[in-house]
Amino acid sequence: MRMTLAIHPEQYTIHSFSPNAVLPNEVFAQDMYFIGKTQEGLSLVISSEMQLDSLEQEPGWCCFEVLGPLGFSMTGILSKVSGTLADEQISIFAISTFDTDYILVKNNRLKSAIAALKKQGYHIIESKDEV
């Protein structure tokens, strides 16, 4: 089976907050966001269009969505994608959900990432509407 990755049209920013931070309600109204919290901090990935007062922020990330659903029995998907990109010296920020994986790459590396993934046989589409 040939794996398909969809590129999201928007760019994302990765924010760092203190672990006790209270996020603005507007965050929860967004179409897509990811929150991770540990004892050390709270991380938020959200559309770059939303401006937030975070401790640190890293804008300019593009998102590949692994089109699924991917059952928990499917192994190595994220490993293969991240390995392909690592071979090209492309850093990633990976997020997994119950249904699928998301791989974020910096905007200035998107074209290289697409080329590397296509070379390994991945099908890349510009939006999920192309499926």
pLDDT surpasses 80 at 24 = yes
Question: How high is the pLDDT of residue 55?
Answer: 97
pLDDT number for residue 97: 86
**Tens-place pLDDT, residues 49-95:** 999 999 999 999 999 999 865 555 556 678 889 999 999 999 999 99
CA dist 67 and 6 (Å) reads 7
What pLDDT, on a 0 to 100 scale, did the predictor assign at position 106?
98
The band of 48, judged by pLDDT with boundaries at 50, 70 and 90, is very high
Phi, psi of 115, deg, nearest 5: -60, -45
Q: What are 110's two structure tokens?
A: 């998107």
Q: Which helix (H) or strand (E) holds 36?
A: strand 33-37
Quick one: pLDDT band at residue 33, thresholds 50, 70, 90? very high
Task: For the chain, give the longest Cα–Cα distance.
Answer: 44
Instruction: Provide the pLDDT for residue 13.
Output: 98
CA pair distance 94, 54, nearest whole angstrom = 20
Tokens 């510009």 belong to which residue? 126
What pairing do the DSSP bridges indicate for beta strands 4-7 and 56-66? antiparallel
Tell me the per-residue pLDDT of 88-115, one tens digit each, with 9 for 90 and over.
Answer: 999 999 998 887 889 999 999 999 999 9
DSSP state of 27: H
Instruction: Note the pLDDT of residue 67.
Output: 87
pTM of the model: 0.87
Kindly state the tokens that stand for 73: 């029995």
Residue 12: the pLDDT is 98
